[in-house]
Amino acid sequence: MADKLISKIPDGPLAEKWTKRKSEIRLVSPNNKRKLEVIVVGTGLGGASAAASLGELGYNVKVFCISDSPRRAHSIAAQGGINAAKNYQNDNDSVYRLFYDTIKGGDYRSREANVYRLAEVSAAIIDQCVAQGIPFAREYGGYLANRSFGGVQVSRTFYARGQTGQQLLLGAYASLNKEIAAGTVKSYPRHEMLDLVVINGQAKGIIARNLVTGEIERFGAHAVVIATGGYGNAYFLSTNAMNSNGSAAWQCYKKGAYFANPCFAQIHPTCIPVHGDQQCKLTLMSESLRNDGRIWVPKDMEDVKKLRKHEIKPSQIPEEKRDYYLERRYPAFGNLVPRDVASRAAKERCDAGYGVNETGLAVFLDFADAIKRLGHKKVEERYGNLFQMYEKITNSSPWEEPMMIYPAIHYTMGGIWVDYDLQTTIPGLYAIGEANFSDHGGNRLGASALMQGLADGYFILPVTIGDYLSHKFAEPKTDTNAPEFEEAEKAVRARIDKLFSIKGKQTVDSLHKKLGHIMWEYVGMARTEEGLKKAIEEIKALKKEFWEDVCVPGENGEFNQELEKALRLADFLEIGELMARDALNRKESCGGHFRLESQTPEGEAKRDDENFMYVSAWEYKGENEEPVLHKEPLKYEYIHVATRNYKD
C-alpha cells in the first residue's frame, strides 16, 4: 500500500517545478466546468478563498461551515500578519529566503517543492488582498508597511493592526459573498460534516448534520475539499476557538486518507497564562509583540518570591537583576527566535523555579523599552488593540507593568497527507490550509499560516483540482441515493443514537478536560517514551469511559450543542491516541516535538536525520486495530540540512 504515497513532485529545477506542473495540468473548458460540482468544507482562509476562486472559475460549489456565518471561522483570530517575499523593505528578501526560512523554521521536516511554491505565490496573495480592499498598514507615503516575525532576519510581514487574520478572512469572505450572489456558490452555514462518502475509491460527497434542525443530510459532488483547520483542541485548553475540531479530517482518515505527522503540534510562547480551573480557552497574544517586547524573568529567586507575594512590582526590579534569557541564549535572533525555541526556553526557566506568577507558570513580556524608544503613540498604533485585550482579560495594563505570558497549544502542523497537488490518498479528496500537513514541517513560523491558507485556496488548489476534474466532466451528477450514501448516513445516525443511549454520569466537557490533562502532561512540550506509552493507555481507557459514561442531554432533532461537542470529543479521543503513537515512534526531537531522550548538552532539540528524515503517514486499519505507519522520505536537494542555529 506504500505506493499510495506518491508525492507527485515535478521534475526539474526547484524554481521551475510549479510552472512545469501548471503547464502539465489538463484544463476544463468553461461549459464543462458548469457540469462539475465541488464541495468545500470549512470557510476559514483556505476554504473561503478556495470556494470563491472555484466559483469564479465556473464550477458549482457548495460550501459548508459549522458557524452561523462563514466569516466566523477561526482564521479570523489570527493577529499579527502574513508573510510575503515582496522585498519592499530592500532588506535583501527573496522567494529563496522565505523558502529557506520556512524549511529551517520547520526543522527540515517539510517538502522542498511545496515550500518553494508557497514562497513563490506569496507575493500574489498580497496583491490579491489589496485589490479586495483590505486596509493593510501603510507608511506615510502611502506604501505598504512591514514588520518582523520570529525565526527570520528580514521584515516581510504585512499586517492590519493586530487583526490581520480578520481582515484577510473578511476579504476572502467578501469574495465568497460575491460568488454566492452570482449563484456559483451555495452556502450551508450551521452544517457539520460527519462523514465522507467514498464510491469506487473516489470521494463523492459528504454526510452533514444541520445544526439547527438536527437533520442528517446528503450532499454529492465530483470532488471534496477539506479546509477544516487543525486539531489543537485535543488538548482542551488551547488558543483555538471553542468549536474548532478535527472531526471532518478524522472522518477522512477513517475512510482511507492517510494522516501525516500527527505529533507535530505548535506550542505558542506568548499566551495569557492559565488563571484557574474554570477556564476553557486560552488567549494568544500576537507574536508581533516580540518585535518590540522583551522577554525576561528575574535573576534572583528572592525577587521571584516577592513577585508571587505581590510585594514588589516587576517594574521595580532593576535592569541588572533581570534575565533576558532569549537575548542571552540566542544573541543573533534574541526575542525573535521561532516559537518552539521560545516556548521551550520559557518552560526551562519556569521549571527552574523562576516563573513570575502564583502558579509559577509565567514569564514577562516587557514594553517599557519600546515605549521609551518609540513613544506612546507609535506603540499604540502597532499594538493598541492587543494591549486593550490584555488589560480587559487580566485587569493589568501593559503600559504600566509587563505582560505575563506562558506557552499554549496553538496550531497543528500535522494533518491529512497530501501530494504536490494537495490531493489526499483518496482520489477526489483534497485538503488545504491547516487541515493538511505539507508546508510547515515540525514547526510553523509566525505569519505563515495565513500565507499557506490563502496560497492553497486562491492559487494552488483551484489549478491542481482541475487535473482531476478534467477526467470527470462526462460523469453524471453524483447520486446521493447510492448505497454508499445510505450506509454512511446509517452509520452517522447510529453513532448519534449510541451517544444519546449511554445516559451516563459525566459531562462532555469534564471528559474533554481529562483528555486535555493527559495530552498536556505526556504529549505536550516535553515527551518521553515512558510518558507516551502511558498516554496511549490512559487515552484508550478514557475512550472506553466516554462511550460508557458520557451524558448527552436533549435529542438529535434540535439545536443541540452538547451533541456537537460529544461527537467532536469522540474523535479527539482517537486523534489524541494517534498523536501519542506518532510521538512515540519519532525518537528524535524536532521542531515542536521535543523528546527528552534526544537533546544536546545545552538542552536544544537534537534531530536524528539518519533515521527520521521522513513524513510519517498513518493508515487507518479499523476500530481497535493498530494503524499502519508509512514513510515518505524527505529529500533535500537545494538546501543544506543543518542543525538550526539561532545563536549566531
Measured CA angle at 394 (ends 160, 410), to 5 deg: 55
- Residues 224, 567: contact at Cβ < 8 Å? no
Please identify, using beta-carbon distances, which residue of 130 and 371 lies nearer to another protein: 130
Q: How far is the CB of 120 from another protein (least distance, A)?
A: 14
What Cα–Cα distance (Å) separates residue 434 from each residue in 245, 415, 418, 449?
Answer: 12, 7, 12, 7
Residue 53 engages another protein in binding (rule: CB under 8 A)? yes
Give the count of beta carbons closer than 10 Å to the beta carbon of residue 371: 17
Please identify, using beta-carbon distances, which residue of 266 and 598 lies nearer to another protein: 266
| Bridge partner residues of 522 (DSSP) | none
Residue 40 engages another protein in binding (rule: CB under 8 A)? no
Gap between the Cα atoms of 354 and 302, Å rounded: 10
Residue 261 engages another protein in binding (rule: CB under 8 A)? no
Q: How far is the CB of 26 from another protein (least distance, A)?
A: 19
Residue 143 engages another protein in binding (rule: CB under 8 A)? yes
Gap between the Cα atoms of 261 and 276, Å rounded: 32
Active site residue 147: no
Please identify, using beta-carbon distances, which residue of 97 and 565 lies nearer to another protein: 565
Q: Which of 1, 27, 393, 596 binds another protein (CB under 8 A)?
A: 393
- CA trace torsion 111, 337, 527, 103 (10° rounding): 10
- CA trace torsion 580, 581, 584, 590 (10° rounding): -70
Gap between the Cα atoms of 525 and 593, Å rounded: 7
From first CA to last CA, the distance across the chain in angstroms is 45
Instruction: Return the closest-CA partner of residue 113 out of 46, 15, 19, 3.
Output: 15
- Residues 576, 519: contact at Cβ < 8 Å? yes
Please identify, using beta-carbon distances, which residue of 130 and 368 lies nearer to another protein: 130
Residues contacting another protein: total by CB under 8 A: 85
Instruction: Return the closest-CA partner of residue 416 out of 610, 205, 608, 225.
Output: 225
Q: How far is the CB of 602 from another protein (least distance, A)?
A: 36
| Bridge partner residues of 316 (DSSP) | none
| Bridge partner residues of 430 (DSSP) | 225, 423
Residue 641 engages another protein in binding (rule: CB under 8 A)? no
The dihedral through the CA atoms of 638, 640, 643, 645 has a sign that is negative
Q: Which of 187, 261, 438, 443 binds another protein (CB under 8 A)?
A: 187
Please identify, using beta-carbon distances, which residue of 143 and 625 lies nearer to another protein: 143
Please identify which of the residues 339, 444, 586, 644 carries the catalytic annotation: 339
Residue 140 engages another protein in binding (rule: CB under 8 A)? yes
Residue 392 engages another protein in binding (rule: CB under 8 A)? yes
Residue 509 engages another protein in binding (rule: CB under 8 A)? yes
Residue 510 engages another protein in binding (rule: CB under 8 A)? yes
From the list 163-171, 322-330, 333-341, 350-358, the region that binds another protein by CB under 8 A is 163-171
Binding string, residues 270-289; x marks residues near another protein by CB under 8 A: -----xx-xxxx-xx-----
Residue 61 engages another protein in binding (rule: CB under 8 A)? no
Q: Which of 87, 148, 155, 166 binds another protein (CB under 8 A)?
A: 166
Binding string, residues 366-385; x marks residues near another protein by CB under 8 A: ---------------x----
Please list the active-site residues: 339
